[in-house]
Amino acid sequence: MDLIQSLASVELLLTDCLANREPQGLYKPSAYAMDVGGKRLRPQLVLLGNYLFGGSVEDAIPAAASVEMFHNFTLLHDDIMDNAPTRRGKASVWVEFGTNTAILSGDVMMMIAFSVLTKGPSFHQLAQCLTECGILVCEGQQLDMDFEKRNDVSIEEYLHMIEQKTAVLLAASLKMGAITANAPVQEIEKIYKAGVFLGIGFQLQDDILDVFGDSVKVGKQTGGDIIADKKTYLLIKALELAKGEVLNTLMYHIEAAHFNPEEKVRAVKEIYNQLQIKDLASRKMKQYFDQGLEIIKNLDVPSQRKELLVAFFEQLIQREY
């Protein structure tokens, strides 16, 4: 499979979805959101899921475009809720065009995501998959916001939240690819489970990169989760392990109403280093990636088809942004 050529077809369809539409005030922000780049991870997973089960790549392209449009709709709204000023190194849509316009442009992107699915086969199955996924994503986002008001979030609660907020869309991407290839039901469920493990590992990796990554490569401010008091795996683990003065210092920075952002990031990062939080998070991340890889390696498909997806997983594990 020529993944690059297939992705080019997805990009063309995404561009066509937003081109020459009026009013420009609605569609220009949506096009801006799509043009700022991104890894296009989810459409790649749709295409790889289709290839894995011997499908026709043309059948997977509308589903791949749909998933990417849906993903960017969620990012657009997430940035508003998180008050995030940048996305992929550029001003967030709400900063560039205003909050009200950003909300409405995000709404229309969600509608277009479902409209694109009509351009390919298996519309009912794909729409059901994306709808169920969308509900879980919203539930996960609400849990994420609820956690901001709590300092007693458990690791189990956090892992459940990121499964819904992040992992299910990655899993649905693989599943939708498998659906377009008419894969057996039992194999579709296995690849979905592999995608869940991949997605949890991916989010744990994001948690690590937010604090320890290169802001230029990551495309957003370093320590944004710390500044926003996001209950990430790193913070929850630090609260679990910190004792005495270290815990007092950590709680001070979490609870401070007024603070210098750079100082807060520096102080909390220092505590993470003291408690070896990065190593603990990296081990947990690898555990989930390994579980996903194990499922893929045991799928009942020719080994050469698995190799591309396994290589894709392994490349993700090494990513720096």
Q: Strand ranges (DSSP E) for 134-259? A: none
Give me the domains of the chain, ranges plus CATH numbers: 3-204+289-317 (1.10.600.10)
The gap from C-alpha 75 to its chain's centroid, in whole angstroms, comes to 9
Question: DSSP 3-state assignment of 181?
Answer: coil
Whether 76 contacts 27, CB under 8 Å = no
Q: List C-alpha distances in Å: 183 to 122, 130, 301.
A: 12, 17, 10
Query: C-alpha angle with apex 159: 158 to 164, nearest 5 degrees?
Result: 100
Measured distance CA(40)–CA(168) in Å, rounded: 16
Q: List C-alpha distances in Å: 161 to 38, 142, 145, 209, 224.
A: 23, 9, 10, 19, 19
292 backbone dihedrals φ, ψ, rounded to 5°: -65, -45
**What amino acid occupies position 309?**
L
> pTM score > 0.85 for this model?
yes
Whether 62 contacts 123, CB under 8 Å = no
90 backbone dihedrals φ, ψ, rounded to 5°: -125, 165
pLDDT tens for the chain, 321 residues long, are 788 899 999 999 999 999 999 999 999 999 999 997 778 999 999 999 999 999 999 999 999 999 999 999 999 999 999 888 888 889 999 999 999 999 999 999 999 999 999 999 999 999 999 999 999 999 999 999 999 888 899 999 999 999 999 999 999 999 999 999 999 999 999 999 999 999 999 999 999 999 998 766 665 568 989 998 999 999 999 999 999 999 999 999 999 989 999 999 999 999 999 999 999 999 999 999 999 999 999 999 999 999 999 999 888 888 877
**Of the candidates 30, 8, 11, the residue with the CA atom closest to the CA atom of residue 21:** 30
The 10 Å Cβ neighbour count of residue 59 is: 17
- Identify any residues that bridge with 87 across adjacent strands, giving them in sequence order: 90
* 143 Cβ contact partners less than 8 Å away, ≥ 6 residues apart: 157, 160, 161, 164, 165
